[in-house]
Amino acid sequence: TNRDAQVIAHPGCVWKVAALQSASSDFISACNDGHMRIFTRHASKSAPPSVLASFDQSVSESKTARSNGPSAEEIAKLPQWEMNALTQGRSEGQVQVFNKSGKAIAAQWSAASRTWIEVGEVTGTNANAGTLNGEQYDHVLPIEIDVPGGGIQKLQIGYNNGENPFVTAQKFIDDNMLDQGYLAQIADYIRQRAGDSGPTL
């Protein structure tokens, strides 16, 4: 069919979407906020206005929180970077956020070295489109890579809504001659930062 795709924003990451067999156009979504929601085009099945307003408000609040980045209270609850050696990763490439001197920083677990590798500061989404190397992007995101000897390499990655984060991350790794082990971490970082573009249904 030649129908336009519709994007339905959610308050968090959508884990699963499934069509309901009982109705041709109804579907259900499962979101990481702990809620499952049924969407329909039939007015007779629609939720009460108060429920719809609550959903819209939670989507708006989630978008605002992502654009502002983590609050000081949220950062204070994170594990301290200085104690990262006590926190073992569960798998190669796992991403963990730590509190480093009052800033939220993302780190990736390296099973080979059994250490956390700092990726960069967790900040709000770049709500404004940006230009990188002469190209316009929906998101221009900062990335910091630890380099041997204790330095930090500051880079930027451009991402457009609807692109595959893994393809973008792989191109970034190739362009900057980075270790292939960063692929999942960079792709996850892109999804976290640009996540409000939502899934296409």
Task: Give pLDDT, residue 124.
Answer: 66
CA distances from 42 to 25, 45, 115 (A): 9, 6, 53
Residue ranges for the chain with pLDDT beneath 50: 1, 126, 128, 196-201
Task: Give pLDDT, residue 134.
Answer: 78
Task: Give pLDDT, residue 12.
Answer: 80
Dihedral of CA atoms 185, 165, 148, 144 in degrees, nearest 10, equals -90
- 0.75 exceeded by pTM: no
Task: Give pLDDT, residue 201.
Answer: 31
Q: Which residues contact 37 (CB under 8 A, 6 or more apart)?
A: 10, 28, 29, 31, 55
Could you tell me which of 199, 201, 195 has the C-alpha nearest to residue 62?
195
Could you tell me which of 79, 86, 153, 164 has the C-alpha nearest to residue 120?
153
Task: Give pLDDT, residue 198.
Answer: 40
Task: Give pLDDT, residue 129.
Answer: 62
Two tokens, residue 16: 């699963």
Task: Give pLDDT, residue 4.
Answer: 55
**165 CB neighbour count, 10 Å cutoff:** 21
First CA to last CA distance, the chain? 13
SS3 11: coil
State the chain's maximal CA–CA distance in angstroms: 65
